[in-house]
Amino acid sequence: MSGDKDLIYLHHILECIEVVEGYTAKGKDDFFNNTLVQDGVLRRLQIMAESTQRLSDRLKAQAPNVDWRALSGFRNILVHDYLGGISLSRVWDAVENNLPILKQEVQLMLNDFGKGEV
């Protein structure tokens, strides 16, 4: 049963990443100057990070390149520290540098599911 849930969460994480990629396709300046884009990105990152917390520990262990603990902490900041604790520069850095790594790892995990290796 855990594998079924993992598969659902992996697809959801990938979907969130792809939506964020779409929101930020116009680049850094658009992100910093468009509060609607900021709101959409923050919300998608929040729910994406929530889904990463629901993945099984066994599955997470298969992706050591992902800092799962940092993702959890990032989610907590997005959810609980919204009155001044969110640095848009840090969010952009995460979108630009961390999301591609997470996307690649999630895609690899999904490929392993297709091969029955997870």
Q: Is 66 left (phi over 0), alpha (psi -120 to 50) or beta?
A: beta
* pLDDT tens digits in sequence order for the chain, 118 residues long: 467 899 999 999 999 999 999 999 999 999 999 999 999 999 999 999 999 999 999 999 989 989 998 888 888 777 776 566 688 999 999 999 999 999 999 999 999 886 666 5
Q: Which residues contact 26 (CB under 8 A, 6 or more apart)?
A: 37
Active-site annotation holder among 11, 54, 58, 75 = 75
Q: Is residue 75 annotated as part of the catalytic site, yes or no?
A: yes
Active-site annotation holder among 11, 43, 58, 80 = 80
